[in-house]
Structures are given as structure tokens and as C-alpha cells.
Amino acid sequence: MTRQFVKLTYEGPIATLTVARPDRLNALSPEVITELLDAVGDLAQHGPGLRCVVFTGEGKAFIAGADIAAMQGMTPAEAHEFAVRGHLLGSALEALPVPVIAAINGFALGGGCELALACDFAYASEKAKLGQPEVKLGVIPGFGGTQRLLRRVGVGLARELVYSAMIIDAQEALRIGLVNRVFPHDELLPKTYEMARTIAEMGPLAVAACKRVIREGEMMPLPHANKLEVEAFAGCFRSADQKEGMTAFLAKRPAVFTGG
């Protein structure tokens, strides 16, 4: 499909997914959700050459939230469909076999914060503002915020943020574990790409297995999650990447991984 509000670009093994609706602070209208779902579908089909995705926004915002003008007149059935598609997008980001890093360059509110939570981890500009302000509008988070937020920062902090509609700055987001690192604004993307390149140099099958085991294991009792890890660890020994990685280590040379 032709995308008006979403850009997807590639540089070597790294893809950049950008919401490009800066005049509306990248607000999530139904059309933007559709374009993001399409772009993430392209990423899922890209193949073994893709090693990491950077997800960001154009202009002053990452994603400032859902498009209130588009939501205001929704019927309950339309709101249900909108939330379902938002959840599909979050799940699609989580299901990508490569890590997705959110580069939060400004506002990440409501649905924007929720999509950042669906990424593997987040880096933030010192100018970033994050929060789930939906109750101020008479609704609740609808794209996974009540669930992913508590899994990221703990139930007590999640309740405080959601119940109060509190918007926090980047340093507070770092303190509570909502983002991993905070950088001066001009350094956010260079530092994010630096990490993306580091990940891209690792064994891609092993990174994909780590992502899957962490995601699935989070929802399991610990003994079951540990069993999942054992099976994934053993499975790595079927790969050419395992043989290359260990051979390269013993030969004291960089490994050349092919994803095979």
C-alpha cells in the first residue's frame, strides 16, 4: 500500500520505522494504525538480512497519543475495533523476530507510550515526556497500557500513572524503568543506531531466540520458563551460527553470522 503517514527505510541490517505526521504530533488515527500494521507486516517478511528495527517519530513527538478528533465521535463498536487494531499492532511489534528499539524523541503519551512499551526497550531524549493520560478524557488506555506498563514498572507505579494521568519527564521514566537510557536530544538517534549496530553484529538466530524466550517466559511460572530456555539453548546447536560463533571465538577472530 502507499503510505502517507509512515516511513520505512533500510540501511544495511537496520530498519527505521518512522511515524511522519508531525503537524498532528504523530497522533494515531485509524489510517496511521493501518499504515503501521502494513509496515510492520513488511518487516516481518523481510528475511534474515534484517537484524534490528529503530522505531521513532518525526518532529517534536514520538507519538503524542491517539487522534482525539478521530476518536471523539466513535460508537462503542467503532472504539472496540480501534482498540483491537491497536492491540494487533503492539502484538505485531512484539512478534517481530528482531529487536525493536523505541527512540523517544519527544511526546510519548497514551497510544504512543503503549507502542513504546511494545518495543523491546526504549531510549529517550532528555526532552521526552511520557504518560497514560486517558482517564483525563474519560476513557482508559486501550492499546495495552494497563497491562504492559505494570509488567515494565510494577503494579504500584502503573496504578499511580494510569489513575492520575501523570505525565513524567525522561529522567523519571529512567528512574522507574520505563526507558533504559536518556541522552541529550541531538545524541538520541546516534546512540540508538549505535546500539542497533551492536545488536546487528550478534548471532541473529540467538538474538531471535532470546527475544522469544524472554517474551514467552515472562508469562510462565519460573520452572516452565527455565525449561523453555533449555530447549532454546539446545536448539542453537543445530545452527551454522553456533558453529561459526564458537569457532571464531577460539580462533580469536570476529564471527561472520549468516542466520543459518
Tell me, what's the pLDDT at 47? 83
* CATH match for 6-200 among 3.40.50.2300, 1.10.10.10, 3.90.226.10, 3.40.50.1820: 3.90.226.10
pLDDT at 1: 77
Confidence of residue 29 (pLDDT cuts 50, 70, 90): very high
To the query of whether residue 231 is one of the catalytic residues in this protein, the response is no
Alpha-carbon gap, residue 28 to 36, rounded angstroms: 10
Domain 204-250 annotated CATH 1.10.12.10: yes
**Phi then psi for 13, rounded to 5 degrees?**
-85, 5
* 6-200 and 204-250, same CATH topology: no
Q: Helix 111-118 to helix 145-153 angle, to the nearest 10 degrees?
A: 60
11 is catalytic: no
Which listed residue (58, 78, 94, 114) is catalytic? 114
Would you kindly state where each structural domain of the chain is located, as residue ranges? 6-200, 204-250
pTM for the model stands at: 0.95
Q: What is the pLDDT of residues 124-181, one digit of tens each?
A: 999 999 999 999 999 999 999 999 999 999 999 999 999 999 999 999 999 999 999 9
Strands 167-169, 6-11: pairing is: unpaired
Strand segments, DSSP code E, in 73-136 are 100-104, 107-109, 121-125, 129-131
**What integer pLDDT is reported at residue 116 of this predicted model?**
98
* pLDDT of amino acid 48: 84
Residues 11, 31, 35, 134: which is the catalytic one?
A: 134
**Around 195, how many Cα atoms within 13 Å sit in the side-chain half-sphere?**
19
- For residue 32, pLDDT beyond 90: yes
Q: For the segment 238-248, what is each residue's pLDDT rounded down to a tens digit?
A: 999 999 999 99
Q: What is the DSSP letter of 73?
A: T
